[in-house]
Structure 1
Amino acid sequence: MEPVRPRTTPSVTLAAALAAGALIGAGGGAATYAALSSGNGKTVVRQVTVNGAQPTSSDSTLSVQSIYRLAYKGVVEIAASQGQGSGFVYDGNGHIVTNAHVVEGASSVSVKFWNGKSYTAQVVGIDASTDLAVLKVNAPVSEVFPLSLGDSSKLAVGDSVVAIGSPFGLEGTVTSGIVSALHREMTSPNHFAIDNSIQTDAAINHGNSGGPLLDSQGKVVGVTSQIESNSGGNEGVGFAIPSNTVSSIAAQLISNGKAEHAFLGVVLRDSSSQTGAAISQVRAGTPAAQANLRAGDVVTAAAGKPIASASELRAVINAHRPGDAISVTYTRGGQSHAVKVTLAARPA
């Protein structure tokens, strides 16, 4: 099946279903996610098996109408020079969170608030690795209504969620659904994994990109980013970046204008022959290459923690900073080896 390519966004592929899909984001006429146009042009969403998943979440729930009334003033429409998307007010200082692919490369960006007023926005920082961006607007305090972030790690499959955004430029559109699955893996614009992504059946369409996914208490638990679709429109399979990732990255972008990620320099997959993270490729000139790690090695421990899967190794690396030295235990040819690796900064 050939990937669907809507006129404003490139395609997304759900590997488990071998089907084609589409990134949601900028509307308008121009392609806005050029970072994914090389190679096969696909972003992969993978299923990740996680042991000990969260059994339940908070018992108190609000109606969809109550959630909308609580949150709609904090949701914005974003108009960039190459298209349109959504976002939400992050704090009382006028910071706005959205997707990187909504604003990356834009020569101008404006933000429309709940009352119809628009303000020119400055791009504070972009992190392509997590597809997140922070904007800044100088709007009156009376028009700025920050939304509260929830704890995405407390979500459970079946929890109610609400998406608010501007699909096709229809600002203030609210849709509802459930958490369909957790611990999905999306691929970012610069081809790094976004772990612990949230799958939902809440209707998401082009223009929803960057908007909030809210839990049953009206807190932001995700940023809507991609859809899986054969038609290019909503088919009930959407994906959001988890709020715990949003919290970490937004804080870095506001403080430093950039986000730093530790980098080992390998392409990973789950091992089919034993427990661990199998290395399928080692990038030249990286810490992994300098440590003589090779394709085919299976990492079984890192930084003193056992590794059972590729996602677990990524989590260990992501918990560190560039310059940190960690131990890596791996098997090669049936023999166990250990090496010290100094992590680098992930390339942009």
Structure 2
Amino acid sequence: MAYLDPYQRPAPDRFVRRGLFITACIAALMLLWQFLPAIEAWFSPREAAERTVMARGDLAADEKTTIELFEKSRASVVYITTAHSGFIWDDAGHVVTNFHVIQGASEATVKLADGRDYQAALVGTSPAHDIAVLKIGVGFKRPPAVPVGTSADLKVGQKVFAIGNPFGLDWTLTTGIVSALDRSLPGEAGGPAIDHLIQTDAAINPGNSGGPLLDSAGRLIGINTAIYSPSGASAGIGFAVPVDTVMRVVPQLIKTGKYIRPALGIEVDEQINARLQALTGSKGVFVLRVTPGSAAHRAGLVGVEVTAGGIVPGDRVISIDGIAVDDVTTLQARLDDKNVGDVVVLLVERAGKTREMLVELQPGV
């Protein structure tokens, strides 16, 4: 049968009506469930819920060690008004820092960890090692000197700790490892290279210069001195002057105001040496002249001689105490490992024959 008038359709069956009602109820319940959290939040009290603080438990052993190291070492580190760092060397009030920290400064003030400020006097510098010594007059409550360790036995991978004032943020601790040993960096303004540097990934930034690099026992193993970074901020490559160098240089600076490098008493030249190496195909250091009366003269070394028949080459230094000497820079670095009065064994070549010579090192000029 066809229904021409839509309004004259018969009423739906009662079962259909019941199904539609149940479906509508289910849809309403699902909608209510979705908005239930919002409704509950609207009618719940507006006060913040109380939280219970969980017990942390004991600190890890390495955390305790690091905290103890910082707390013990902090008082030995100072802030220098050139926005850099330094540390207390001894009970006499000597403060060790980098030469470049105080270079060009007319005066410097040293601030201790307890807030006291002292005007510092310059004691001595060694630009070749980037080391300077200041002195402050502390009559009471003297700050502790940093304990001194060694650097000859350092191992790549061992933990290190740097304390300083990066970007003027005083008494900051950073940690890392020894990344490499025996690095060299060119000196400032074409000066001699700084050798035997410790490389570390402990964050060292501008302002850390002059601060101590410590081992896990809290002993001084180096002076933070430079970073390698195109941006000027820490890139994970920092350098420190090793404490064994500091131990040789600082006592001399305190005693005489300057560092006297041990010398052989010979004249050498980097550029001439490079040319002679290229001509002969030999490494080592060619002795150009022996100073009369010097340690080298007494040992029998000879330099270049000019005769009627031409130029006679002198001795070529091949090694010092069994360590190879490739050029003038390494010769100076090897000598700098020694002290005035030490006797070294030189392996030299003369007229195609090698020989060993004993030389007692003398003060350099």
Q: Given the two structures, how large is their TM-score scaled by the length of structure 2?
A: 0.66
Which residue in 2 is equivalent to 1:235? 235
1:312–1:187: structure 2 CA closer, same or farther, 3 Å change rule?
closer
1:212–1:295: structure 2 CA closer, same or farther, 3 Å change rule?
farther
What code does the residue aligned with 1:331 have? Answer: E
Alignment of 1:132-211 (within 5 A): 132-189=131-188, 191-211=191-211
Which residue in 1 is equivalent to 2:303? 292
1:178–1:323: structure 2 CA closer, same or farther, 3 Å change rule?
closer
Alignment of 1:308-327 (within 5 A): 308-310=324-326, 313-314=331-332, 316-318=334-336, 320=338
What code does the residue aligned with 2:213 have? Answer: L
What code does the residue aligned with 1:330 have? Answer: V
1:239–1:319: structure 2 CA closer, same or farther, 3 Å change rule?
closer
Which of 70, 78, 85 pairs up with 1:68?
70
TM-fit CA distance, 1:144: 1.3
**C-alpha deviations, 1:120-164, integer Å up to 9, x for none?**
000111111211111110124314121111111121100100000
Which residue in 2 is equivalent to 1:331? 349
SS at match of 2:161: strand
Contact 2:99 2:126 in 1 (8 A): yes
RMSD: 3.8
Which residue in 1 is equivalent to 2:284? 278
Which residue in 2 is equivalent to 1:102? 101
Which residue in 2 is equivalent to 1:4? none
Contact 1:277 1:308 in 2 (8 A): no
Which residue in 1 is equivalent to 2:221? 221
Partners in 2 of 1:236 and 1:119 — Cα distance? 33
Which residue in 1 is equivalent to 2:14? none
TM-fit CA distance, 1:68: 0.8
**C-alpha deviations, 1:209-234, integer Å up to 9, x for none?**
11000000011100000111121111
Which residue in 1 is equivalent to 2:79? 77
1:295–1:223: structure 2 CA closer, same or farther, 3 Å change rule?
farther
Which residue in 2 is equivalent to 1:24? none
What code does the residue aligned with 2:324 have? Answer: A
Higher strand share: 1
TM-fit CA distance, 1:241: 0.4
Partners in 1 of 2:286 and 2:170 — Cα distance? 44
What code does the residue aligned with 1:160 have? Answer: K
Contact 2:213 2:223 in 1 (8 A): yes
Which residue in 1 is equivalent to 2:254? 254
Contact 1:62 1:216 in 2 (8 A): no
Contact 1:119 1:137 in 2 (8 A): yes
What code does the residue aligned with 1:139 have? Answer: V
SS at match of 2:324: coil
Which residue in 2 is equivalent to 1:114? 113
1:339–1:159: structure 2 CA closer, same or farther, 3 Å change rule?
closer
TM-fit CA distance, 1:101: 1.1
Which residue in 2 is equivalent to 1:40? none
SS at match of 2:239: strand
Q: Structure 2: state its 5+ residue gaps.
A: 1-61, 305-311
1:141–1:249: structure 2 CA closer, same or farther, 3 Å change rule?
farther
Partners in 1 of 2:108 and 2:98 — Cα distance? 13
Further displaced range: 256-265 or 141-150: 256-265
SS at match of 1:247: helix
SS at match of 1:164: strand
Further displaced range: 257-266 or 144-153: 257-266
TM-fit CA distance, 1:314: 4.0
SS at match of 1:63: helix
SS at match of 2:204: coil
TM-fit CA distance, 1:193: 3.5
Contact 1:299 1:307 in 2 (8 A): no
Partners in 2 of 1:184 and 1:296 — Cα distance? 31
TM-fit CA distance, 1:280: 8.0
What code does the residue aligned with 1:77 have? Answer: Y
Contact 2:316 2:349 in 1 (8 A): yes
1:306–1:70: structure 2 CA closer, same or farther, 3 Å change rule?
same
Greater Rg by CA: 2
Which residue in 1 is equivalent to 2:91? 92
Are 2:322 and 1:306 aligned?
Answer: yes
1:280–1:72: structure 2 CA closer, same or farther, 3 Å change rule?
farther
TM-fit CA distance, 1:110: 0.8
Partners in 1 of 2:64 and 2:324 — Cα distance? 38
Further displaced range: 133-142 or 219-228: 133-142
Give the number of aligned pairs.
282
TM-fit CA distance, 1:104: 2.6
1:345–1:128: structure 2 CA closer, same or farther, 3 Å change rule?
farther
Q: Given the two structures, how large is their TM-score scaled by the length of structure 1?
A: 0.69
